[in-house]
Amino acid sequence: MLEDARKADEARKIEEARKAADAKRLDELRKAAEARRLEDLRKAAEARKLEELRKAEEARKLEELRKAEEARKAEEARRAEEARRAAEARRAEEARRAEEARRVEEARRAEEATRAEEARKAADIAERSRNSYAYSSGEKTSMWPNGRPPTSTPSPTKPATSSIPKPAAPKSATPKPAASSTGVADEYSYRPYDTPKRSARKKSVSDFSDSSWAPSASTSRTSPPPSIRDPYTTNDPQKIVLRGVYSYLNQFSKTPASQLVSGVGNVTDGLILRITSAGLFVDDDVRGVAQREWDVKAWTVKQIEVWCPSHASSNSASSTPGAMPTNHPFFKTMPRSARTAAERGATKVLLGEEALEFLSSCERVCKETCRRGLASSAGASAVGSSSDLGNKTGDWRSKGLHLIRATIRDQEGKRYLFVIGEEEGWKISQGISALRGSSQVRALGVAGLSSLESKTILEQLGWV
């Protein structure tokens, strides 16, 4: 009986062990399935996130492309609008010039017609004064004012003679015509300058060149005289002849960090500035050397300031007719802010249409005044006829110097200053207009330098 109980107990333990093993196996299988399900969920979440990120990236790229396309279209529209306005301004300027030329031509023709009429009247009066009789009452209404002359039939054997004596020919005061070099001279082709005057000028040393120089036969062998080159000039509108170029930094705002002066050192008088859509470039055109260290790229230019004495004078004369000049006795009674602005000549940065109008007016004034040298002559005459204060103010303006200052987009605040002669000022506006139309430029500001600042700069550099 004890044996049976022991066997039953062992069978029960075996059964319990088997059930425990089965339960453990089922639990392991359940855990494995749960882990597999969690892994599948994680992978699905990651795939969903990747898909969302991909879609977001595609949407962002599409948005950037759309914005770039819109910006390109807006830029094209802006350029087209600027080109249209420039063309309209050019057409208006051409029409204005044509109208002025037509008026000048009409005035000239009217003047010539008036002079011709006066000359004809004077000739008629002179012709009448040479005659031996005055007009009778029937001279202009009858073919024979003194009566019809008698006529006689000539005989075949004896010719008829008239009883009326021939009037003596009046002596004319017209000089006898001289021989003409163009053909036979008469009273209508007489010219007092037919016989040219002989020039009393002797040949100078400059009339001889290297090719006409001959060595001396009685002395030792000599070399030909050195050739003398004329001062450098050019009519190319893309080449602006410079007097000098200076670079400034924020640390030394009044003293240039480096400089190139025309005709000083290795620099010749062919120092030129080219302003194109790619930037500002300085070259020595006589030596054919490009000054690479002075190149200014278009995308680095932040602002360009221009000074033209004629344009500044015209602006000051046309702006605010009630403004008080600085030499007025009651100038110091003005408010402090207005007085300071008038003394400094505060300028405004121009963009878009205002900048285009400023450049157009500057180009027009320079072509009409500075290119012909009228600004320096007018300034010199004003200096000679003005007071002592006017002498101090007009002396530096009479130089006719133009200034360009380009400010760069960098932390050092680098600036380039170009000093240009009066005869080259008409090329400035064309170059700046080409630079403004470049696709590399970003919001280029155009402004005019004040008179006080321009005078200070030229005095510090020793140009006045």
What does the DSSP assignment read for 265-333? TT--TTEEEEEETTEEEEEETTTTEEEEEEEEEGGGEEEEEEE-HHHHHHHHHHS-TTPPPTTSTTGGG
Rounded to 10°, the helix 336-344/451-461 angle is: 50
Q: What is the pLDDT of residue 179?
A: 45
Amino acid at 45: A
Sign of CA dihedral 93, 94, 99, 104: positive
What's the whole-number mean pLDDT along residues 89-99?
Answer: 93
Give the mean pLDDT of 354-358. 88
Determine phi and psi for 269, rounding to 5 degrees: -80, 5
**Count of domains forming the chain:** 2
426: tokens are 């008409």
Question: Which of the pair, 117 or 211, is modelled with greater confidence?
Answer: 117
Judged by phi (left if over 0) then psi (alpha if -120 to 50, else beta), residue 142 lies in beta
Q: Is residue 415 part of a domain?
A: yes
- Answer whether residue 234 is part of any domain: no
282 inside domain: yes
Q: Kindly state whether residue 96 falls inside one of the protein's structural domains.
A: yes
CA 374 – CA 365 distance, rounded (Å)? 11
| Boundary residue ending a domain (71, 89, 112) | 112
Task: Report the candidate in 235, 276, 243 with the shortest Cα–Cα distance to residue 430.
Answer: 276
Lowest-confidence range among 31-45, 370-384, 441-455?
370-384
Closest CA to 450 of 338, 341, 363: 341
Average pLDDT on 65-73 reads 94
Distance CA 384, CA 390 (A): 9
**Among candidate residues 112, 131, 149, the one where a domain is terminated:** 112
Q: Per residue in 54-63, pLDDT tens?
A: 999 999 999 9
Domain annotation covers residue 261: yes
Domain range for 388 is 240-317+341-461
In a domain, 265, yes or no: yes
Q: Does a structural domain hold residue 8?
A: no
Closest CA to 371 of 433, 416, 420, 405: 420
Report yes or no: 237 and 427 within 8 Å, Cβ to Cβ: yes
Mean pLDDT score of the chain: 76
60 in a structural domain? yes
pLDDT digits (tens, 9 = 90+) for 169-202: 444 444 444 444 444 444 444 434 345 555 544 4
Give the domain-ending residue among 77, 112, 147: 112
- Region of residue 99 (phi > 0: left; psi between -120 and 50: alpha; otherwise: beta): alpha
Task: Give the tens place of pLDDT for each residue, 8-18.
Answer: 888 999 999 99
What is d(CA 311, CA 336) in angstroms, rounded to the nearest whole number?
27
Task: Report yes or no: 435 and 298 within 8 Å, Cβ to Cβ.
Answer: yes
Share in percent of the chain as helix, strand, coil (round to 5): 50, 15, 40
The whole-number average pLDDT for the span 321-343 is: 57
